[in-house]
A and B are shown apart, each in its own frame.
Chain A
Amino acid sequence: MGRVISATLARGLLALLIVVALGPILWTVLGAFKELRDIVTPVPKLLFEPTLDNFATILRNPTIRDGLLHSGVVVSVSVLIGAVLGIPAAHALARHAQRFGDDVQFFVLSLRFMPPVAIAIPFIVIYLDLGIYDTLFGLILVYLITTISTVIWLSVPAFERVPRDIEEAAAMEGCSPFEVFWRFSLPVAAPSLFGAIVFTFVLVWNELLLALTLAAQNATLPVVAASITSLGKEVPWGVINAATVVLVIPPLVFIGLLMGLLNTSVQSGRK
């Protein structure tokens, strides 16, 4: 009897936890389809007449549209460069660099310790002096620190998981180091590498401080969203909710992938 009660209690608690995890997001999604008068009620409303006005407002707003476009360009270019440069470097570190490999890896990791303000403040002056302040190029350049280092950091273990024998067997058949990398290591490690790229994408897509500091007119979506609060006199909660939803969608698309990455890295991490 006691077992049944405690089991039921535990189930209830878990259901509550799922609500805590997902509730805030669902509530925001609901809010995005509400008119302001349905939001500003003393008793929260679950039933209301849905409206697309909020989304229309965002998509008609040129600042938000530009923000979306800038985010798209900056994030995709910096992640692409990060992957193109970072993945071969990670393979070289995982397989070929014995003496200096550890030091290089620690250097790459230490870039992740670096507080973003410590990057932002010198760069704003340097960018102003060079005339690349408030340009997409400038943002991409500074994001390369994040993308290259994160791609390397996550890809080194992915390449270490590729069985060394396979690479040696390929070398026995006459493949050069580049061919071994391109035709064997890369396809075998591909699923984990894809996860690494997605993780990097999410990091850069979500970044606020550097974009806020180093750009003004050409800012990315998080900066634009962060500044919505001051549109007009009233706080436009519906619009804020809708902007949040737009901001949230791209990272959430990849949730299944992240889960897969987690499973493989957890399992291989504890051999």
Chain B
Amino acid sequence: MTRKIFVRLALVPAISILATLALVSIAGAIWFALMNRTLRSPEYEFVGAYNFLRLLRDSRFFNALEISALWELITVTGTLGLAVLLSVLIYETVQKPLWRNVICFAFLVPVLLPRVAAAFIWRFMYSPSLGVINYLCGLVGIGPVEFLADPSLALISVAVVDIWQWGLFFTVIVLKLMETLPRDPIEAAMLDNARRWEIHAYVTLPMLKGPLVSLALVKAVESLRSFDLIFVMTGGGPGKATETLDLYAYQMGINMGGRISYASAMSLLLLVVTTIAFTVIWKAGKKWAA
């Protein structure tokens, strides 16, 4: 009996606050999406599905959708690829625990940086006139590169910063996971005369399949929150070259125009798509990893 009271007291406040806030934001988004509300005027009326229909004819929306998908793809694969490569490299070449710890500490620093700070640091380094990277490029004879102002380079340049933060962080995690693996299968493979890379390709990494799938999911969720980085580094530009969905929704809803209803419709679509995608991937991932 007291147990039930305790469970109720412990759960109810936290869960009811979360549920209220989540419900308010979702209900709010649905409500505003059906209106034609703007920040400028307090008057609004019901317009039904008008905002959603307009979205379907908005080429800038589809551009943002494409950029968002591209961003997810580049950052998730880049992060995991880098993490796997580097962790295998460190596992093979650094044996002393002290040095491994030093590397792990160094690799943890970038992810702790506020995204705004990381964005500034790299914008400074990317700068064509006074950035270190362009100085190094200059030394090997490549003229000043407009990393953030060139539409074909901007998205990749920003993604590099994201991968710098998360790829190094995931390297530490994968390395720690490799250290906890049982030694027996690895030693069995060594007795079978497997080469080092074969051991990793066929023994260690397959044993880490489950954790790697979850890491990919965590990164995919995290990549959705890259507004800060892109906003500070490029603001979505040059042109619309780095304008992801959240950036476009922000520009529409708050920065220019304040077309709240239109932005609500957009964020609602984003919410539905991500919720469905992640619920499906999450459950499938659990099954696949198990």
Contacts and interface: CB of A to CB of B under 8 A. Distances in A.
Asked if A and B touch directly (CB within 8 angstroms), the answer is yes
A17 B86 CA distance: 9
B14 A14 contact: no
A269 interface: yes
B2 interface: yes
Contacts, number: 272
A86 B17 CA distance: 11
Given A126-B24, A208-B227, A202 B112 contact: yes
A270 B93 contact: no
A176 interface: yes
Give the interface SS of chain A, mostly helix, strand, loop or mixed.
helix
Contact of B173 (A42, A113, A266): A266
Nearest to B93: A10
Nearest to A228: B120
Contact of A208 (B106, B228, B249): B228
B21 A247 contact: no
B94 A251 contact: no
A97 B260 CA distance: 40
A174 B205 CA distance: 48
Interface in B111-130: 112-117, 120-122, 124-125, 129-130
Nearest to A95: B7
A209 interface: yes
A124 B260 contact: yes
Interface in B225-263: 225, 227-228, 231-232, 245-246, 249-250, 253-254, 260, 263
Contacts of A91: 10
Nearest to B181: A270
Interface size class of A (residues with CB under 8 A): 35 or more
Contacts of B279: 110
B117 A44 contact: no
Contact of A270 (B9, B18, B180, B221): B180
A189 interface: no
Contacts of A213: 250, 254
A123 B25 contact: yes
A154 B112 CA distance: 17
A163 to B, nearest CB: 19
Nearest to A29: B121
A251 B112 contact: yes
Contact of A14 (B94, B132, B177, B254): B94
Contacts of A126: 24, 28
A89 B109 contact: no
Contact of A240 (B90, B92, B108, B120): B120
Contact of B29 (A122, A207, A247, A251): A122
A39 to B, nearest CB: 6
Interface in A93-139: 93, 96-97, 104, 107-108, 110-126, 128
Interface string B206-231: 00000100000000010011011001
A27 interface: yes
B93 to A, nearest CB: 4
Given A10-B93, A97-B11, A119-B25, A25 B121 contact: yes
A90 B58 CA distance: 44
B3 interface: yes
B73 interface: no
B287 to A, nearest CB: 15
A108 B176 contact: no
Interface stretch (B47-55, B150-158, B186-194, B270-278): B270-278
Q: Which among A40, A207, A244 has the highest number of chain B CB atoms within 10 Å?
A: A244
B250 A144 contact: no
Contact of B2 (A88, A176, A247): A176
Nearest to B178: A266
B267 interface: yes
Interface in A208-223: 208-209, 212-213, 222
8 contacts: A27-B125, A85-B13, A115-B246, A117-B250, A207-B228, A222-B114, A252-B112, A270-B177
Interface of B: 2-3, 6-7, 9-11, 13-15, 17-19, 21-22, 24-29, 31-32, 37, 39, 86, 89-90, 92-94, 102-110, 112-117, 120-122, 124-125, 129-130, 132, 135, 164, 168, 172-173, 176-177, 180-181, 211, 221, 224-225, 227-228, 231-232, 245-246, 249-250, 253-254, 260, 263-264, 267-268, 270-271, 274-275, 278-279
Report, nearest first, the 10 A-B pairs whose CB atoms are least far apart. Answer: A122-B28, A88-B10, A89-B14, A206-B114, A10-B93, A92-B10, A208-B228, A85-B14, A177-B6, A118-B267
Given A18-B106, A145-B22, A258-B108, 15 more contacts: A24-B121, A39-B130, A44-B135, A91-B10, A108-B15, A112-B221, A121-B253, A121-B260, A121-B267, A122-B29, A206-B115, A208-B116, A259-B105, A259-B108, A267-B180
